[in-house]
Chains A and B, each alone.
Chain A
Amino acid sequence: MDFNDTPEEAAYRAEARKWLEANAPKKAVGGDDLEGGTKDTMAASKAWQAKKAAAGYAQITWPKEWGGPGGTPIQQVIFSAEEARHPVPPNPFAIGLGMCVPTVMAFADAETKTRFVGPALRGEEIWCQLFSEPSGGSDVAAARTKAVKADDGSGDWIISGQKVWTTGAQFSSFGIVVVRTDPDVPKHKGMTMFWVDMSDPGIEVRPIHQMSGGSGFNEVFFTNVRVPDSQRLGAVGDGWKVSLVTLMNERLAVGGSSGAGWAEFMEAARGLTGLDGGPALKDQALREKIADWYVQAEGLKHTRNRTMTALSRGQTPGPESSIGKVVAATQMQDLANSAVEMLDQFGIINDPALAPLKGGFHASLMSAPGLRIAGGTDEILKNIIAERVLGLPGDIRVDKDVAFKDLPTGR
């Protein structure tokens, strides 16, 4: 066991470091990781992406035919780690490049691929993923947004309905959308995937006002959006299978967790009054919590190191990488709440001018509920661990062999 790069990895790292030193921005622009940036940071994000693409550091694992350098996953990890040492702008391209464009690449014709891949890679066009709906967040196959054939014989499709929790829709040029094309068959069999032009007048994007105050996610309304059949990805009725390809392409979660952690908590505890009039850092209950958070954070860090080891050996990482978000999100909420409680009566104040860490703990407290839900709820992630990692049976389904239109739907 050691943490050293192989000679090839060390050479790649040195080269990446040199390039970043020369090219990475020296000063940060503000932004929110959960939301992939704001319109104020967008220009900086796009400029940085274009620079990386020109140097072969955007989508490092993409093959040459897609315009990538055809690198290895470990090179991507090395570059990301080095890049994180610089104040680079937020990355609003990850969902498009990691999930949407690979889906287009897998199912579209050659002309479409050629049209989209370059601009996406260079950050000129952003993509969003239109899966979740008001009637089904975890249950993607419950989609009700429908596409019907136009009655003019053109072969076009008319899409109507609503998507929700669409990250970055307000910045996106294009999206991939999964819709219901046949309500008379069971839910997984009656869906179809399309790509759509987000500038279509029938598409309306409305930001969601989150409980945290921000608005990174959107509702997207489709009103009679006409889409030619050539924008279909995969066969009619294969939308579920296509969406699995999208989700499989989900980026390997190798980034560190954001937000305040045990070290910030410890620093805050040092300066606050505790139970006996001394520093809060001397309170035994808080010390035990710090120990627990440290052990979890280290556990996640070294779990990522195990994943990197597998990548470094050219192997597929083991299932251990599946534990990341469920641990990190729960800890974020617990730590933020403990920090706010540590302030006692003052904890109700979240004014950045008065609260510790410029209100950072309070901000974590208010965004933690979202992190526990986004990208798979705690409950869904535990199901995934139980079923895909441990091999336990799936739940008994009451919706598999029933026509979609006959399923009970609640309100």
Chain B
Amino acid sequence: MNFDFSDDQKFLKNEARKFLEANCPTSRVRKILDDDAKAYDEALWKAVAGQGWLGAAIPEEHGGLGLGHIELCAIAEELGRVVAPIPFASTVYFLAEALMLAGSDAQKAALLPRIAAGEVIGCVATSEGPGVLSASAIQASVSGGRLSGTKLPVTDGDIATHALVLAKENGQPGLFLVNLSAGVTREALATLDPTRDAAKLTFSGAAAERLGAAGEGLSLLEQVTDRAAVLLAFEQSGGADKCLEMAKAYALERYAFGRVIASYQAIKHKLADMYVKNELARSNAYYGAWALNTNAPELPVAASAARIAASEAFWFGAKENIQTHGGIGFTWEVDAHLYYRRSRQLALVAGAARVWKERLVSHLERRNAA
């Protein structure tokens, strides 16, 4: 039994934490938060590329470090702790994973090395408006290798060089790789978490290459999303742990009625509840990491469970961290709202919890019926 990071992985994680504490303090995150013109922290993006993290799970032949996905999970957790304002998830969890899963040799050779080098920024364009994504209602379409239609919201759509787009071709949903250098107009959208921007993309004849076989778009998107869900769960887990740490630190220094508020049972039980949720999230995420790294048949179920547990833990931690802080926690100056915002961004970017719960139970139904 080995259900933990290895010593090497722990070393990498520790190095990542030190690097991010030095290079991504919340003062840096706030520069993106407070400046509407800035969509992401370019300097941090370059620095992260310099660390090799963008290519952590990309094979060496394609310019990556050729480590496994467990290493990528370790990095994701650390990025989540510091609410890093960079398009890491869009580029690495979605675009690179989709390419490694279904890209042609030419597509891999063309893009993976540039992803690893930080020259390519990815985005995922599936949604076309409010409400749960419905494949049959998709309007965007591809004909003769040209894409037209509108996608919103697209996280990192305003800064991306390449997009994964869900569109219909001959009436069937497909997942397409689209170079955003031509045939697209972009309009930035106001977001709940301004440290992670989003845009509306309007395509008018952009060149689109289908990933995978015709008619397999939805299943491919599900596979990519399952992989991304595990990695996102580590980001969420890192954020949730940080919320508990912030709440604990404040509760230990804040006095009310003559004693630190951390000595009141109402606060202690609240923090204990946060701890329980965080541990459940971590344990589910570990199982997801194992399934992702070994490409196990259990991945869809493991990813769903990791996603649900992590979304719940980060939401609970983020809101109760503010509550523990009291009035000061409601101010712009205190960092608690950065995590509150990010908890929503991460929980929604790849489908809300109720979508994942439905997905999980559908998988369980099939598994138990079989």
Partner-B contacts on A (CB < 8 A)? 1-5, 9, 74, 262-263, 266-267, 281, 284, 287-288, 290-292, 294-296, 298-303, 305-306, 308-310, 312, 320, 323, 326-327, 379, 382-383, 385-387, 389-396
Contact = CB atoms under 8 A, between A and B. Distances in A.
Nearest to A286: B361
A1 B290 contact: yes
B280 A303 contact: yes
A5 B1 contact: yes
Interface of B: 1-5, 70, 244, 248, 251-252, 259-260, 262-263, 265, 267-269, 271-273, 275-276, 279-284, 286-287, 289-290, 293-294, 304-305, 308-309, 312, 354, 356-358, 360-361, 364-365, 368
A394 B2 contact: no
B286 A302 contact: yes
Contacts of A303: 279-280, 283
Given A291-B360, A392-B263, A396-B259, 6 more contacts: A1-B289, A299-B305, A302-B287, A309-B2, A383-B265, A386-B271
Contacts of A392: 248, 251-252, 262-263, 267-268, 271
Contacts of B360: 291, 294-295
Given A291-B357, A390-B272, A74 B1 contact: yes
Contact of A1 (B70, B284, B357, B364): B70
A3 to B, nearest CB: 6
Contacts of A326: 276
Nearest to A303: B283
A1 B286 contact: yes
A300 B282 CA distance: 10
Contact of A320 (B269, B283, B305): B283
Contacts of A320: 279, 282-283
A287 B2 contact: no
Contacts of A2: 2, 290, 294
A327 B273 CA distance: 10
B2 A4 contact: yes
7 contacts: A263-B368, A291-B361, A298-B283, A302-B287, A308-B3, A309-B1, A383-B265
Contacts of B267: 392
B276 to A, nearest CB: 5
Given A303-B283, A392-B251, A393-B263, A1 B2 contact: yes
Contact of A396 (B252, B263, B308): B263
Contacts of B273: 382
A290 B367 CA distance: 14
Given A306-B283, A386-B268, A390-B272, A267 B1 contact: no
Q: Which 5 A-B pairs rank lowest in CB-CB distance, beginning with the nearest?
A: A299-B280, A291-B357, A386-B268, A302-B283, A382-B272
Given A306-B283, A390-B275, A3 B3 contact: yes
Contacts of B290: 1-3
Contact of B287 (A9, A284, A298, A393): A298
Nearest to A330: B276
B280 to A, nearest CB: 3
B188 to A, nearest CB: 34
Most buried by A among B244, B267, B279: B279
Contacts of B70: 1
A321 B129 CA distance: 43
A149 B183 CA distance: 96
A288 B304 CA distance: 12
B283 A266 contact: no
A387 B279 contact: no
A296 B273 CA distance: 13
A9 B260 CA distance: 48
A267 B304 CA distance: 20
Most buried by B among A292, A298, A382, A389: A298
B284 A302 contact: yes
B163 to A, nearest CB: 31
A389 B279 CA distance: 12
Contacts of A327: 276, 280
A301 B279 CA distance: 11
B281 A299 contact: yes
A394 B263 contact: yes
Contacts of A266: 361, 364-365, 368
B2 A312 contact: yes
A370 to B, nearest CB: 21
Contacts of B357: 287-288, 291-292
A312 B287 contact: no
Nearest to A301: B283
A80 B138 CA distance: 53
Given A266-B365, A295-B305, A305 B283 contact: yes
Given A1-B286, A309-B4, A323 B293 contact: no
A292 to B, nearest CB: 7
A21 B287 CA distance: 30
Nearest to A307: B3
A329 to B, nearest CB: 12
B286 A389 contact: no
A2 B272 CA distance: 29
Contacts of B361: 266, 287, 290-291, 294
A320 B358 CA distance: 28
Nearest to B308: A295
A299 to B, nearest CB: 3
A300 B340 CA distance: 26
B272 A386 contact: yes
A2 B276 CA distance: 24
Contacts of B287: 298, 302
Contacts of A267: 368
Contacts of B309: 295, 299
B1 A323 contact: no
Nearest to A263: B368
A383 B275 CA distance: 12
B268 A299 contact: no
Contacts of A9: 1
A63 B309 CA distance: 41
A302 B306 CA distance: 11
Contact of B280 (A5, A291, A300): A300
Contacts of B4: 1, 306, 309-310
B279 A3 contact: no
